[in-house]
Amino acid sequence: MSRFLTPLAASLPSTVPFVGPETQERSLNRPFRARLGANESLFGPSPKVLAAMQAAADQVWMYGDPENHDLKAALAALNGTTPAHVVVGEGIDGLLGYLVRLTIGPGDKVVTSLGAYPTFNFHVAGYGGTLIRVPYKDDHEYPQALLDAARQHKAKLIYLANPDNPMGSWHSGSVVEDMIANLPDGTLLVLDEAYADLAPPGTMPRIAPDDPRVIRFRTFSKAYGMAGARVGYALAEPGLAQAFDKVRNHFGMARVSQMGALAALHDGEHLARVQSLTLLARARLSAIARTNGLTPLPSATNFVTIDCGRDGDFARAVLRETVARGVFIRMPGVAPLDRCIRVSLGDESALSVFEEVLPQAIRAAG
């Protein structure tokens, strides 16, 4: 270990929150037949996005606009707010890192759910924060338990994903609105809405743009099919939004990604098509699970979490045997959520491969 690390950095494990499919392919020494584990959109981006990015490719010698001016203006128009309320960054992951850097110091308390999106925890640990984890309730993050823990520990942040990863569950907008109304003084709600564009009507809460108690995160990685471009944004009151300029990478956004995101916002027909395909793929994947004696959980996302009906050891065996047969999937990491596997939605070809492999994996898992 380098002697130049800070004591905090030296104390952290040298791990990443996720093992990528590429790493697993290298280990298996062959490519996956179906890539259904990273919550990517196999339906792909709009043709207009590809055209815009191809047109911008000869400008790759230039940095992107460090102010993200045009993209912020378009996002403000989409969300009925002003550009001063918008922060653009390298996906929600990057923006979460900036937020934690701005708000959390050594020993500060942060509340999240046990088993929720681990990248947020990764950032909190990296800045010396103390994580308080509360269990899920009936496969949903539990707003009242999050509030109670924040009040008890005087937490600076509460993290809530709605819809949720890894379970695919969701709360109605009114539940989140009630949660915001009951936040303890001094606690900021970090509301991860990565799957907002795929959620049922009524899922998104009504939040005044200038409400200082909440910051919302959105992404182009899911419904817009641009995970590899790394484009995310946050909506917050202007004081907090402007604070990101203190720490963000001002040239972190590639010009090609900026152009692609702008094009995506102007192709509502493609977004509607993806939303329609999402409903069909959820039904197809759920039917595959039921045919094999497993239970698909209701989903508001671009994946379906499937209850394998036994314990975590059995679900891990099913996952292992599925991966060994060339299908990349993932699963929740902690009990009791780890009784499940999680499978991204895909096109007919990818889901047919999963349909072929799943019964083989179940048999091999015992």
How does DSSP assign 264-330, residue by residue? HHT-HHHHHHHHHHHHHHHHHHHHHHHHTT-EEPP-SSSEEEEE-SS-HHHHHHHHHHHHHTTEE-B
The reply to whether 211 falls in a domain is yes
Who's near 153: CB < 8 A, 6+ residues apart? Answer: 109, 111, 132
* Structural domain count, the chain: 2
- Where does the pLDDT of residue 246 fall: very low under 50, low under 70, confident under 90, or very high at 90 and above? very high
Kindly indicate the confidence band of residue 248, based on its pLDDT and cuts at 50, 70 and 90.
very high
- Assign residue 274 the CATH number of its domain: 3.90.1150.10
Say if residue 261 is in the same domain as residue 273.
Answer: no
Same domain, 192 and 238: yes
The one-letter code for the residue type at 241 is A
* 2 lies in some domain: no
pLDDT at residue 52 in the model = 98
**For the segment 116-138, what is each residue's pLDDT rounded down to a tens digit?**
999 999 999 999 999 999 999 99
Residue 285 maps to a domain: yes
Asked if residue 10 belongs to a domain, the reply is no
Query: Is there a single domain that holds both residue 277 and residue 260?
Result: no
Predicted model pTM: 0.96
* β-bridge partners, 191: 160, 216
Query: Within this chain, do residues 182 and 295 fall inside the same structural domain, yes or no?
Result: no
Note the pLDDT tens digit of each residue in 295-346.
999 999 999 999 999 999 999 999 999 999 999 999 999 999 999 999 999 9
On whether both 154 and 224 belong to a single domain, the answer is yes
Average pLDDT, the chain: 97
Q: Are 241 and 286 in the same domain?
A: no
Q: Which residues contact 342 (CB under 8 A, 6 or more apart)?
A: 37, 166, 168, 303, 304, 305, 306, 329, 330, 331, 332
Is omega for the bond preceding 163 within 30 degrees of 0, making it cis?
Answer: yes
My answer on whether 26 and 95 are in the same domain is no
Task: Give the span between the Cα atoms of 357 and 324, in whole angstroms.
Answer: 10
Q: Is there a single domain that holds both residue 353 and residue 222?
A: no
118: nearest Cα among 284, 302, 337: 337
The boundaries of the domain holding residue 284 are 15-44+269-365
Last residue of a domain, one of 247, 266, 285: 266
8 found inside a domain? no
CB burial class (10 A; 0-12, 13-18, 19+) of residue 86? buried
Residues 235 and 298 in one domain: no
Give phi and psi for 68, each to the nearest 5: 50, 40
Question: Do 37 and 117 share a structural domain?
Answer: no
pLDDT value of position 1: 67
Whole-number Å distance between alpha carbons of 37 and 327:
8
